[in-house]
Structure formats: structure tokens, C-alpha cells
Chain A
Amino acid sequence: MAIPEATVTETRPDAQITEEVVPLRHPMRYVAAAVVLALLGCAVAGLAVNPNIEIGVVGQYLLENQILHGLWLTIVIAVVSQLIGTVIGLIVALMRQSPNFVLQGISWLYIWFFRGVPLLVQLVFWADFGALYQHFVLGIPFTNVHAGSVLVNSVLTNAVAGIVGLALAEGAFMAEIIRSGLLSVDEGQSEAAMSLGMNRGRMMRRVILPQAIRVMIPPTGNEFISMTKNTSLLVVISAGELFTQASNIYSRTFQEIPLLVVASLWYLLMTSVLTIGQYYLERRFARGSVRHIPPTPLQRLRRRFA
């Protein structure tokens, strides 16, 4: 006897429900939503008519040259520091996995130190590095033999010091993120790779890292967003990025609140762009592991109106 098909076009007479079905209603949800919206509306309206906000000043400085210059420097510092930090993190994480106990020890010390000292303190230190060493010398230590030397203060400008400080600190955090990504890959994968005759380097590159990256993306995206905001700490070493510029302007004109709004709007824009970017990056890496990738909000919107 043939097995009946799973999809039927009409319900069997004995399976039909004749009474009217009344769905469950949630009236309090709508009441709560209305209350929250009303309160939000009051807050926004109150802010908007507050003379101290000086919306006009916000508009004046939003696209002003100094601010845009600071914005550009923020982006450069954040990207460069994150890249260098990620490379350092990868090296340190691989050292941590190494059977060589010297490498393991050094990497542990690195993480301990650069995670342990507050970022702000590290940044001030790098800005004042010239107080510790006056010259960068290429030569043999503890002798007078050298090929060239340069003044520390001319190389280590405030912005460069900021990048060095941010990158080194980021390296410690990225090392732990990468290490946890490596740990997340099933042990069977490395056993299969080794059984096929792959050496550790090949196994890392071709098998482990591609799988680990998927796990590393959300915390790394997190770190990048944090990095973008941490650049504002560079105001204490006057590195010329967005917050330094905004604070320079308002210490001159005493228009603190509007300039804080200007800076905040730009930071919000940058972090929002990064958040969206991370979303699409995660989708791209989900290909091998997820059976069905749900549609993006954009795709869902297009389907609604198709």
C-alpha cells in the first residue's frame, strides 16, 4: 500500500475544527510599549528644547575641518592598532600552544603584563618614553658600536605612541581570543590532519585557523569596536584624534555639551558601521558550518516589497 504524501491539499473531514478559534491576546504589551514611548518622547523633547544643547553649534562643528581631521586620525589609529594587535595576538597565541617552554613562558608574561596594567597608564608611559630612553640605537648593546641612532622623541610622536600603546595592549587581549578560537576546534581535526602527514604549520594554516576564525569573529568585532572607542583615551596624550580635537575646541570656546554631542555622534556612526560589517562577516564564515542561513534584514525587506 502506498505511503500517503506528506503534503495534502485538503483537510480530512474528521480532522476539521468547526468552532471559532480565538487567539491569545497580550494587551499589557501594547500598554507598556505606549508608556515607554511616551517617556522616551518626553526625554527627547526635553533635550531638544534645552538651550544648553545648542543644536546650532552641533551642526556648525559636525563637519568642521578640525573635527574631520580628528575623525580621520581616529580611523587610522584604530585600524592600524587593531591590525598590529591582531598580528601580535596571533604570534603570542601560537607561542602559548608551543611545546617549547621558553616560548610558552614569554607569551604568558606578555599577556599577564599588558592585560594587567591599565590602558591609560600604558598610553601615558609610551608618550613619555623619551624620559626612559633618549635615543633609538641600532647596534651592539653595552658597547659604543652602532650603525645609526635617532632621537626617541622625533620618532615617537604622540599619535605613534598612541598606536604603540593601543597595539601592544590589544595584542594581549587578541592572544586570548585567538587561543580560545584555536581551542574551540575539535581535537579530531588535528588528529586527522596529523594522520595525513601534515606538519603543525600546515595543519594550523589549512585546517585549524579557518575553523577557528568563525568562533573568533564576534569577540574580535567586539574588540575593534572597543578599540575605536579607546582611541578617545589618547586625549590625555594629545594625539590629535577626534576627542582631542573636540576637547581642544571646547576648551577654547567653552561650548562643552554641543562638542561632546558632535564627538558622540561620530563615534556612534563608526561603531554602527562596524557592527553591521561584523554581521555580514559572520554570515560569510557561516557557510561551511550552518545548514540554513536566515535572510538578512535587508533581504527580508526586499521580499516584503517584491
Chain B
Amino acid sequence: MASTKTVVVEAVDVRKNYGHVEVLRGIDLRVDEGEVVCLIGPSGSGKTTFLRCINHLERINSGKLMVDGELVGYRRHKGKLYELNLKQTASKRAEIGVVFQHFNLFPQMTALQNIVEAPIGVKRESKADAVAHAHKLLTQVGLSDKADCYPRQLSGGQQQRIAIARALAMRPRLMLFDEPTSALDPELVGEVLDVMKRLAGAGMTMVVVTHEIGFARQVADRVVFMADGVVVEAGPPSQVIDAPQHPRTVEFLRKVL
């Protein structure tokens, strides 16, 4: 039966270089709506760079990268492609939620203020609506009693959960996670992964760069192993993690597991 799901992210032979260094050397990837795709691989493989390209933070050098059917960085008008100006780029970014390795919460604002800042300032939501939605999100991530705390007063796991709530407040169609638990103490990793599991269960389209192979095996619909700027192997976790085909994948998993 043909799938009626829309394609959220499509990458065709995406290439990017920083000067002479080729970071992405032809990435082919497809993410359908509601899918959870985990990108694993050694550092320097280009996973984070690829994520940044999806989010309009970096420009690709060649290939096609599309989000929601539109080329990243351009809009179609009467058969021609026009580069997006700053305002248009910002509004595209607002539709994609990003969670960073180092949380990047705004330190001079409380948790609640962090969450409502963009909905009020960028989407022009009313303060009442934004605050009500923020409280709901705080409850979903299990931190409803920390609304008035400053990031400095919270543990790493709590900060990351606030960061997830902040990204969700913009009601994105797609959530990108850049090693969300790599900067956390081991005991705090679980609480963040739980939030992410629930989010996946609710049907959010997620692309997660992670070293947590257990999480990938449990939650991912597809696992993509990247190394040296290319996709080495991709498929369901039962294949890539439990029965890897490519020797590079085998070698990586042997070191990590």
C-alpha cells in the first residue's frame, strides 16, 4: 500500500565544504512525517553540520536539500528560484525546532520567560496564550514547579528539558536534536530521553544526532550511520545496530557498545 505520508526532509547528494575541507560529501536522506531518524557516527562525520544545513544555519554548496517540499534557502516564484531574505529565513527557522548539546537557554530569563520569548516576540501570540501553552509544556516535560527558576538554578537535565519545551512552544513541524544528552551527567540522561520518547510517541518528526545507541534502538524508525561526510549505512535499528552490513558500521558499533 502506497504511503500517504508527506516527506518532511529530503536530501539529494548534499555537499558542503568549509574552505578546502569537504564536510558533507554527498548525503542522501529522506525523513517522512512522524518518523524518528537517528544519526549516529564518529565525530567529524558531518552529522552536526548536516543538521545545521537543514535548519538554514549553513548553506550547502551543491545538491538538493528540501524541507516541507521547499528548497532550503530559496523560494519558488514563477519558475525561478529566489534567495530568501533575512526575514523569510527567520520565519523558515521558526518552523523547525532545535535542541542543542549545551542547551543554550537564555540565562537572564526564567524558565517560563525562556519558553514564551519566541512565541510572543516572533509569532506575536498574546501573552496569556503563550503563558498558558508554556505551562502545559512545562507539565509535559515534568517541570511545572520550576517555571520561575533561572537556568543557573537548574540541573543539566532540567535545563535540557526546558530547552525542549522552548523549542516545542513554537509548534514546529520538525524537531532537530544535536547530541541532546552528550553534555549531561549519566544519571540525568534518562529524564531527557524519556521526554524525547514521549515526543516521538506523540508523532513528532524528529532527527536526532546522538551517541545513545540504546535510545536509537528503542525509539528510532530508522538509524543512519554517517562517517567522513557520507551515509555509510541506513535502515531500521534492527538492521543497522543489531545486524550491521558495512564493516565501518561494525567497527564503530564495536567501539561504542
Chain A residues near B (Cβ < 8 Å): 186, 188-189, 191-200, 202, 206-207, 210-211, 287-289, 291
Contact = CB atoms under 8 A, between A and B. Distances in A.
Contact of A198 (B90, B100, B104): B90
A206 B107 CA distance: 11
A211 B108 CA distance: 7
Contact of A197 (B93, B102, B105, B107): B93
A206 B122 CA distance: 12
B121 interface: yes
B122 A195 contact: no
A81 B166 CA distance: 42
Interface of B: 55, 57, 86-87, 90-91, 93-98, 100, 102, 104-109, 117-118, 121-123, 150, 152, 163, 166-167, 170
A206 B57 contact: no
Q: Among the interface residues B87, B98, B163, which one has the most CB atoms of the partner chain A within 10 A?
A: B98
B121 A191 contact: no
Given A188-B102, A191-B57, A288-B150, A196 B107 contact: no
5 contacts: A188-B104, A192-B104, A196-B118, A198-B121, A287-B108
Contacts of A287: 108, 150
A200 B93 CA distance: 13
B115 to A, nearest CB: 10
A198 B122 contact: yes
B118 A197 contact: yes
Contacts of A195: 55, 57, 93, 96-98, 167
A203 to B, nearest CB: 9
A189 B106 contact: yes
Contact of B94 (A186, A189, A192, A197): A197
Contacts of A202: 121-122
Contacts of B55: 195
Q: Among the interface residues A188, A195, A210, A287, which one has the most CB atoms of the partner chain B within 10 A?
A: A195
A188 B100 contact: yes
A133 B97 CA distance: 58
B90 to A, nearest CB: 5
A202 B118 CA distance: 10
Contacts of B100: 188, 191-192
Given A196-B170, A199-B90, A288-B108, 12 more contacts: A188-B100, A188-B102, A189-B106, A192-B98, A192-B105, A196-B94, A196-B117, A196-B122, A197-B91, A198-B118, A207-B106, A287-B108
A197 B170 contact: yes
A210 B109 CA distance: 10
Contacts of B117: 196, 206
A124 to B, nearest CB: 44
A196 B102 contact: no
Contacts of B86: 199-200
Nearest to B176: A195
The 8 A-B residue pairs with the shortest CB-CB distance in the complex, in nearest-first order: A197-B94, A192-B104, A196-B118, A195-B98, A188-B104, A288-B108, A197-B122, A288-B107
Contacts of A188: 100, 102, 104
Contacts of B90: 194, 197-199
A192 B100 CA distance: 8
A289 B117 CA distance: 19
A289 B94 contact: no
A200 B90 CA distance: 9
B106 A194 contact: no
A210 B108 contact: yes
Nearest to B96: A195
Nearest to A213: B108
A141 to B, nearest CB: 33
A258 to B, nearest CB: 50
A293 B165 CA distance: 29
B104 A191 contact: yes
A100 to B, nearest CB: 12
A193 B104 CA distance: 9
Given A202-B122, A289-B152, A291-B152, A194 B108 contact: no
Contacts of A194: 57, 90, 93
Nearest to B107: A288
Contacts of B104: 186, 188-189, 191-192
Nearest to A197: B94
Contacts of B152: 288-289, 291
Contacts of A291: 152
B51 to A, nearest CB: 11
B154 to A, nearest CB: 12
A207 B109 CA distance: 9
Nearest to B97: A195
Nearest to A290: B152
B121 A206 contact: yes
A141 B102 CA distance: 55
Contacts of B167: 195-196
B107 A211 contact: yes
A194 B55 CA distance: 10
Contacts of B123: 197
